[in-house]
Chains A and B, each alone.
Chain A
Amino acid sequence: MIDLTALLKEILSVSGLSGFEGPVREIIHKTWEPLTDALSTSKIGSLHGFKKGRGDDPRRRVLISAHMDAIGMMVTEIDDGLMRVTQVGGIDHRILPGQPVTVHGREEMPGVVVQPPAHLLPKSLGDGPVPMKYLFVDVGLRPSEVSKKVRVGDIVAYAQAPLELTGEALAGHTLDNRVSVAATTLCLEALQNRLHDWDLWAVASVQEEETLGGALTSPFDIRPDLAIIIDVCFAKGLGANDWRNLPFGEGVGLGYGPNIHPALYDAFEKKAKALEIPYHRDLMPKMSGTDAMGVQIVAEGIPCMVLGIPLRYMHTPVETVSLRDIRRAGRLMAEYVADLTPDALEQIHWEE
């Protein structure tokens, strides 16, 4: 049995900002190696894990896609030993002052995000929030050292260590979307002891936070018949209590909207009910904000399902998740995949 907390801590221990997923890909590669029949890397860095089905050739293919990239920052300028940064992915600049970070230069350097005093900033800012372009990152080294070790384009990652909270809750950075990588891993583990007819492609995709790059490219060669996109969704909590937010730790989100094939939604709802896995309908009236936006429109089009793991404080370094929801998502995916009969695609049609 995989120790979920240990697994999460391991895949959270390395960076993997959008476009720079190398370090986390290595760890996922190592984790998936015993759980898959073959592993490969796409031309732009997504990890493709293949698990062969037992059905007759040609077998149907199901894709599970979890993006592995993280938000963070990138050095734009070095000024007197201090670095200016821009964002990779979406960051609210108001959470940055005082954050511990790691600068990935010629070597890894711990540092902090610095908010300069008001008298060194434009008067118009007053005591209001300070936009990112006025902030610095300080690694404590002298300017001559910094210019040797850091260059424009180096990445800067959040560095807070994960924290175990009460009630099987875990807090940390980059839980978006490493929790889904963990859930996919649990799914692969569960399938070790389950026969499945369909081929399974588990993909840890790149660049979701910036370009949907992995989602737009990996399915092109894999050409799955169905795709399950797993990502985090918004949990109820501080300042987030409307219809877009699901209860925390009380079940997975089943996406519902134009990115999701309604027959797949029905199939997952039925499966969740049968397994008594708690779930909530996660409404996505327009776009889902996930890799499904890309996967769905690759080539001739791919029917997609979106699964969500409710997460609090998204895109901060203290994102918080319930381990129970990760396990539920992993189990639901495994059961769904295991129960795909050779002719299951016939049920995924438009009502007509």
Chain B
Amino acid sequence: MKSLIKKLVETPGPSGFEYQIRDVIREAIGNTADEIRVDALGSLIAKRGTRSESGMRVMISAHIDEIGLMVTHIDDNGFARFTNIGGINPLTCYGGRVLFMDGTRGVIGMDGIERGKTPKLTDLFIDVGATSKEDCPLKVSDVCGFERPFLDLGKRLVAKSMDDRIAAAIAIEVLRKLESTPHEVHFVFSTQEEVGLRGATTAAFGVDPDVGFAVDVTLSGDTPRRSTKMMTALGDGPAIKVRDSSFIADPRLVDWMVKTAQGAGIPYQLEVLEAGGTDGRAIQMTRSGVPAGCVSIACRYIHSPSEMVDFDDVDNAVKLLVKILSEPIKLD
């Protein structure tokens, strides 16, 4: 599974420009799905299973986009100014390396900032090694993601886009491990989550599920200063979301997931996230409403080029989802 994760996290795919990562995922899914389609906003939807008497139409959503940058201006000396795609923290930009969709590489520079002051995005620029406007290969509207190799620290894994490729890896692994299911499961590899849950919004309308789960990363409260007062920690198991700032998980589903984890002896933790949203909201608000939940992977340093997760959590998330999808889901 680690080689799959490496491949997924090293492929660029900022929101709206998921075509390369979509191809990687399509290949990884191979023939483990019964049917694959791509919707108008570019989400890849892999269907598996038929609905039995006790089954439901289930949507599993893992977003495949990542945060990135878009060029807004090439100045006379060949430096490119840019705007953000999704939530970019200027603090983690300076000195970063970027990879454009066409393979062009560059670094992020900054000047004119006093020591100790936080830069704004407009203080930063991309330098692709051009000597003038004329020999700069970039043009306005070109898109890049951060570039950082996958780092395998054994139990802990680090990469630029664990958010949310780790969920894509989990979803693919679930597809591979799922032997039989009473449900019609739609694995949605959704686009444009980082700019407002857009892919999941339209995919959920198309799938029209009876119940839905997002798979995403969440903040962890286990770093030295613990500025985030939350109990989620790396290695404590997949986190079952109770709420985040975008939605309140259906309490019946929360209970169901807890019971399933307990019954199967899978470690889990409960999550209350005070900032951030997930595809769960988009699913819940679809049509006349859909019971929705979310399985989260605790992640340190989210939206930095070095996001860290625990491999056991990933493994246990796969087990939990396989278990949930292998049996009828009861909501009461």
Q: Which residues in A have some Cβ–Cβ distance to B below 8 Å?
A: 18-20, 22, 42-44, 46, 74-78, 84, 86, 88, 133, 151-153, 207, 210-211, 213-214, 216-218, 220-221
Known contacts A211-B285, A217-B287, A218-B289: A44-B254 contact under CB 8 Å: no
30 A-B contacts, Cβ less than 8 Å apart?
Answer: A18-B248, A19-B248, A20-B251, A42-B288, A43-B210, A43-B288, A44-B289, A44-B291, A74-B243, A76-B229, A86-B272, A86-B274, A88-B248, A152-B270, A152-B271, A152-B272, A153-B242, A153-B270, A211-B246, A211-B247, A211-B248, A211-B281, A213-B248, A213-B285, A214-B289, A217-B285, A217-B287, A218-B289, A220-B287, A220-B289
**Cα(A325)–Cα(B281), bound, Å:** 36
Which residue from B230, B246, B284 sits with its C-beta under 8 Å from A76? B230
B293 CB to closest chain A CB, in angstroms? 12
CB contacts between A and B, total, < 8 Å:
85
B101 at the interface (CB under 8 A from A): no
Complex alpha-carbon distance, A153 and B246, angstroms: 15
Given A43-B291, A152-B271, 7 additional A-B pairs, CB 8 A: A19-B249, A44-B290, A78-B231, A152-B231, A153-B272, A211-B248, A220-B288
* B163 interfacial contact with A, CB 8 Å: no
List residues of B (70-123) whose CB comes within 8 Å of A's CBs. none
Nearest CB of A to B266, in Å = 17
CB-based nearest A residue for B227? A133
Task: Report the nearest B residue to A299, measured CB to CB.
Answer: B287
How would you classify the secondary structure of chain B's contact residues: helix, strand, loop or mixed?
Answer: loop
User: Given the complex of chains A and B, what is the CA–CA distance between A74 and B285 in angstroms?
Assistant: 22
Is A75 a contact partner of B272 (Cβ separation < 8 A)? Answer: yes
Q: Contacts A19-B248, A20-B251 known; A76 to B272 CB distance under 8 Å?
A: yes
Closest Cβ of chain B to A155, distance in Å, is 9
Which residues of the partner chain B approach A20 to less than 8 Å between Cβ atoms?
248, 251
Verify if B10 is at the interface (C-beta below 8 Å from A): no
How far is A216 from B201 in the complex, measured between Cα atoms in Å? 13
| Chain A min CB distance to B214 (Å) | 15
Q: Is B250 an interface residue (CB 8 A)?
A: yes
Say how far A113's CB is from chain B's closest CB, in angstroms: 16
**Whose C-beta in chain A lies nearest to the C-beta of B285?**
A216
When the two chains form their complex, are residues B290 and A151 in contact, meaning their CB atoms are under 8 A apart? Answer: no
Interface string of B249-268 (1 = CB under 8 A from A): 11100100000000000000
Give B116-162 interface residues, CB cut-off 8 Å to A.
Answer: none
Interface size class of B (residues with CB under 8 A): 20 to 34
Asked if A210 contacts B248 (CB within 8 A), the reply is yes
Chain A residues within 8 Å of B243, by CB: 19, 74, 88, 153
Q: In the bound complex, what is the Cα–Cα distance between A151 and B249 (angstroms)?
A: 15
Contact partners of A217 in chain B: CB under 8 A: 285-289
Q: Which residue of A lies closest to B270 (CB)?
A: A152
Neighbouring A residues of B270 by C-beta, 8 Å: 151-153
Beta-carbon contacts under 8 Å, B282-311 to A: 284-291
Across the A-B interface, the 4 shortest Cβ-Cβ residue pairs:
A19-B248, A153-B242, A217-B289, A44-B289
Q: Is the CB of B284 within 8 A of A221?
A: no
Minimum CB–CB distance from A257 to chain B (whole Å) comes to 24
Task: Name the B residues within 8 Å of A46 (CB-CB).
Answer: 289
**CB nearest neighbor in A for B254:** A153
Question: Is A213 in contact with B230, judged by CB distance below 8 angstroms?
Answer: no
The reply to whether B284 and A44 contact each other, CB–CB distance below 8 Å, is: yes
Please measure, in the bound complex, the distance between the C-alpha atom of A63 and the C-alpha atom of B284, giving whole angstroms. 22
Which A residues lie within 8 Å of B248 (CB)? 18-20, 88, 207, 210-211, 213
Q: How far is the CA of A88 from the CA of B281 in the complex (A)?
A: 16
A78 neighbours in B (Cβ, 8 Å): 231
User: Chain A residues near B242 (CB, 8 Å)?
Assistant: 74, 152-153
Q: Which of A44, A75, A151 has the most CB of B within 10 A?
A: A44
The answer on a CB contact under 8 Å between A213 and B229 is no
Closest to B221 in A: A77
Query: A76 to B250, Cβ gap below 8 A?
Result: no
Is there an interface contact between B289 and A74, defined as CB atoms closer than 8 Å?
Answer: no
CB-nearest residue of chain B relative to A151? B270
1/0 per position for B212-231, CB-CB distance to A under 8 A?
00000000010000000111
Of A133, A153, A211, chain B has the most CB atoms within 10 Å of the CB of: A153
Query: Are B291 and A77 in contact, CB atoms less than 8 angstroms apart?
Result: no
Distance in angstroms from A344 CB to nearest chain B CB is 26
| Identity of the chain B residue whose Cβ is nearest the Cβ of A44 in the assembled complex | B289
Q: How distant is B54 from chain A, measured CB to nearest CB, in Å?
A: 18
Which residue of B229, B231, B289 contacts A42 across the interface (Cβ within 8 Å)? B289
CB distance from B268 to the nearest CB of A (A): 11
CB neighbours (8 Å) of A77 from chain B are: 221, 229-231
Q: Shortest Cβ distance from B281 into chain A, in angstroms?
A: 7
B242 closest partner in A (C-beta): A153
Cα A63 to Cα B24 with chains together (Å): 48
A213 to B210, CA, bound (A): 16
| Shortest Cβ distance from A134 into B: residue | B229
Bound: A218/B274 CA distance, A: 27
Which residues of B have CB within 8 Å of A75? 272
Residues from chain B with Cβ under 8 Å of A218 in the complex: 288-289
Closest chain A residue to B331 by CB distance? A43
Contact indicator B274/A76 (Cβ below 8 Å):
yes
Smallest distance from the beta carbon of A134 to chain B beta carbons, Å? 9
Task: Name the A residues within 8 Å of B210 (CB-CB).
Answer: 43
Q: Tell me, in angstroms, the Cα distance from A273 to B281 when the chains sit together.
A: 43
- A216–B270 alpha-carbon span in the complex (Å): 27
The closest CB in chain B to the CB of A20 belongs to: B251
| Distance (whole angstroms) from the CB of A203 to the closest CB of chain B | 12
Closest chain-B Cβ to A76's Cβ sits at a distance in Å of 5
Closest approach, in angstroms, between the C-beta of B272 and any C-beta of chain A? 5
